[in-house]
Structure formats: C-alpha cells, structure tokens
Amino acid sequence: MAPEPSSTTSAITLNINGEKRHLSVDHRTTLLDALRERLDLTGTKKGCDQGQCGACTVLLDRRRVVSCLSLAVAAEGREITTIEGVAEGDELHPVQQAFLDLDGYQCGYCTPGQICSAIAVIEEHAAGWPSAATDDVRPGAAPPPLTPDEIRERMSGNLCRCGAYVSIVRAVARGAEAHAEAHAAGRSANGPASRSAAVKEAAV
C-alpha cells in the first residue's frame, strides 16, 4: 500500500502502459526515478540526468519527453508509454522490429529512448509537423518526405555514444514505411496508439 501523503509528498495515479499505478512520491521525484526506482520499469535508462542525451525518453500522451526533467506529479492522469509498453503482447512494434532487423543499436543502452523517440517522430511526420530541416513550413504545405536529413534532425535529441546513427536512421525509415503501409490498409500499427483504455490497477 502506498504511504500516506505529507506536506512534501503526494499520492498520485500514473497510467503507464495501460495500467493504473498508485504511489506516493516526493514532489521533487522525477518521472524517470519513479519509473525505475518505484515501479521497476527499468527499460527507461538514466544517462546524463540533465535532459541532453535522450536515453530516458518516454511517450507522454503520445508526445516524447525526457523523463529525467519531468516531475512524476505532473504526469498524473496522463497516458505514459515506456519501452515496456510499445509492443502488443509477443508482437514487436514495427519500429522495434526495424531496429532489430537493421542493427539499429550496439551496446543497446540508448535504444529504448531511441525507439520511443522514433515512434513519436513517425507520428509527428505523418501529422505534417515540420522540423528545422523542412524546406516548406507554410501552413497547409504538404508533409516533407522523411529523408535521412529529416530523420537525423528529428532524432537529434537522442544520442548514441556507440555511433550507430547510420543504422538508426535506416531503422526509423523502415518503421515509417510500416506505419504508412498500415495507414493505407486502414489499420493501426501496434503500440500506444492502438492500446485500449487502462483497466488494470496496482498500488506501490
């Protein structure tokens, strides 16, 4: 059972990977520390702890955030997806499969953050959001092609200290192709976008 809240703690409910988790946290606790140290979701990695490397990237309401700079109390009531929640059962998310097929990793430490960021990048691009590398940013302009330059710019917040960037770019492109094929076929790629509302609850 979660401890009683005090003047420096709050009892919160986090909706993580389709499961409601109840816990009491210090107001200063980051989402990263809550995930790793309180909820045993250690797939999200702690790298720089300063918001500069992207290793701790998770999806918050399907938008990517660095969880080391996000407070756990600010995530209450929002949909959180970590690397543990992007697959559907035994079926890997298309981006996970692309990273596996194209060797989009070396040591693997940054890979969870890379994959979460890539999933968001693909959705952002499909929605027509421009990047700093986009030539035509006028309202109503057609979405730019997801070129290697576009991918590198959009993924620039995620560092790979092993230098697997060439394979990472290829993996993101492959994941984008799978997303487009699913959309054209009138179905959703698996992952957070297709997950139903949370039904499970647990107290920490």
Task: Express each pLDDT in 81-121 by its tens digit.
Answer: 999 999 999 999 999 999 999 999 999 999 999 999 999 99
User: 25-29, 32-36, 190-194 — which is least confidently predicted?
Assistant: 190-194
Structure tokens at 67: 């969880």
Q: Residue 54 class from Cβ within 10 Å (0-12 exposed, 13-18 middle, 19+ buried)?
A: buried
H helix intervals, the chain: 31-33, 94-101, 111-126, 148-154, 165-184
CB 134 within 8 A of CB 118: no
List pLDDT tens digits, range 150-162.
999 999 999 999 9
Report the pLDDT value the prediction gives residue 4, as an integer from 0 to 100: 63
Position with higher pLDDT, 105 vs 4: 105
Report the pLDDT value the prediction gives residue 193, as an integer from 0 to 100: 46
pTM passes above 0.85: yes
Q: Decide if pLDDT at 190 tops 70.
A: no
- CATH architecture designation of domain 94-184: Orthogonal Bundle (1.10)
Domain with CATH 3.10.20.30 in the chain: 9-85
Q: Decide if pLDDT at 179 tops 50.
A: yes
pLDDT band at 197 (very low <50, low <70, confident <90, very high): very low
CB 106 within 8 A of CB 62: no
- CATH architecture designation of domain 9-85: Roll (3.10)
Q: Decide if pLDDT at 195 tops 80.
A: no
| Cβ neighbours of residue 145 closer than 8 Å, sequence gap 6 or more | none
Report the pLDDT value the prediction gives residue 183, as an integer from 0 to 100: 81
CB burial of 138-170 (b: ≥16 within 10 Å; e: otherwise) equals eeeeeebebeeebbeebbebbbbeeebbebbbb
Domain with CATH 1.10.150.120 in the chain: 94-184
pLDDT band at 199 (very low <50, low <70, confident <90, very high): very low
For residues 32-36, give the mean pLDDT. Answer: 98
Q: Do β-strands 9-16 and 19-26 pair in parallel, antiparallel, or remain unpaired?
A: antiparallel
